Chains A and B, each alone.
Chain A
Amino acid sequence: MTGAAKFGDFERAIGPHMGAAYNLARWLLRESADAEDVLQEAFMRAFRYFDTFHGEKARSWLLAIVRNTCWSFIAKRGEQEETFDDERDSAAVLPLQLTPEPEAQLLRADQAKRIQEEVTALRPEFREAFVLRELEGMSYKEIAEVTGAPIGTVMSRLSRARRELQARLGGAARKASAS
């Protein structure tokens, strides 16, 4: 295949997923300036590996490369994020922490809007799983393909993400109604 033909195929395969790639990078890096540099590197890698791509699941294939490039960048940036140890921190899916007050269970409109900052504050493993599930509508299997984690781990990360969000948004609800 000539370089030009390869480039044409590459453009066609990844073109529809540019938006998803950008969104994932922004959510992982949390900085728009970094996102463009990192995506540049990710797409160069993708183009280099394109010969090993066989035409199905272009989105998962591309997002896996974008995701890995973002994670290496975060590691290089020396970000001291407290990372989550799946083995240590979770035994499969945790039991539910049920809140007795029913009014704390439902999100009011103002809390719903705060969800942006609460998701941004999640640990990267949780944030990644949550964003891929809710914004990209990916199945557990697809999230597992992108993140390179087993499906069980994807499930427990998603579950932990939701538990944390419920606690933070629900906690605010109680404070708001008490004041």
Chain B
Amino acid sequence: MMTCAEAAPLVELELDGELDARSVLELREHVARCPTCTRQAASLRALGEAARAHLQRFEPPPGFEDRLLRRIRPRTSRRAWAGAALGLAAAAAVVVAVPRRDALVDEAVAAHARSLQVNHAMDVATSDQHTVKPWFEGKVGFAVPVRDYAPEGFELAGGRLDYLDGRPAAAIVYRHGKHVLNLFVLDADGARDAAPAGESVRGFSSWRWKSGGLRFVLVGDVSGPEMEALARRMAAER
């Protein structure tokens, strides 16, 4: 039989998800019979909920990452990047000037990185576009164009529901060898079509465009020219 003195420290462990299953049962048995511990548990739970709901998670100011990384980037690398950018500009006939990075691109890159990290790349895993497309129905509020680019080396791997710009977004997942790419699709709110524009963000390359009333952001870590070719191919089809 557990006493209050024994139960007290365990209440927090349970709330923090750090208590083993057997002790959870013993603790709940005690708390159910003890009004004092019930109150304390409710109070701690309310505190945790208030913290998660009201504590500010400070967001970096605009341009913070760029400023920070610019000062760390090795000189050789800085030159290589400038060279690559020049080369790309020369090679591509229509490179849309991107004066300031789109906040959406930052979000998409973060979502992409998260999808690689948490081992949660896909909610529906299949290379069949006729399975992926209907899976999104009723989840995002618009018809999601899903195509396979296996002949071009980008195999459809599945789909996932993500959340960008404060709304649900479709994430279509492609595989290219060992690399994973995410194509994020959102409602464009009636914005006009825009040609693909590419940039490098935190080591990933990203391309964005608008077409057919939808916004697209493609994120991956495959080489620049391959990503560009894929983005232009995708943009041309929709």
Contact = CB atoms under 8 A, between A and B. Distances in A.
A22 interface: yes
A62 interface: no
Interface in B1-50: 4-5, 8-9, 12-13, 16-18, 36, 39-40, 42-44, 46-50
Nearest to B65: A18
Interface string B52-78: 111111111100110111011111110
A170 B114 CA distance: 38
B43 A166 contact: yes
Nearest to B8: A96
Given A39-B68, A166-B47, A116 B76 contact: no
B209 interface: no
A96 B40 contact: yes
B203 interface: yes
A2 interface: yes
Given A98-B39, A135-B55, A159-B9, A22 B60 contact: yes
A115 B202 contact: no
A7 B77 contact: yes
Interface residues of A, number: 56
A12 B221 contact: yes
Interface in A88-138: 93, 95-96, 98-99, 102, 105-107, 111-113, 115-116, 119, 130-131, 133-135
A22 B64 contact: yes
B113 interface: yes
Interface of A: 2-4, 6-12, 15-16, 18-19, 22-23, 26-27, 32, 35-36, 39-40, 43-44, 47, 93, 95-96, 98-99, 102, 105-107, 111-113, 115-116, 119, 130-131, 133-135, 139-140, 155, 158-159, 162, 165-166, 169-170
Interface of B: 4-5, 8-9, 12-13, 16-18, 36, 39-40, 42-44, 46-61, 64-65, 67-69, 71-77, 80, 109-110, 113-114, 117, 202-204, 221
Given A15-B203, A115-B54, A134-B52, 17 more contacts: A4-B77, A7-B72, A8-B203, A15-B202, A22-B64, A27-B58, A32-B61, A40-B71, A44-B72, A106-B43, A113-B54, A135-B52, A139-B18, A158-B12, A158-B16, A162-B12, A162-B47
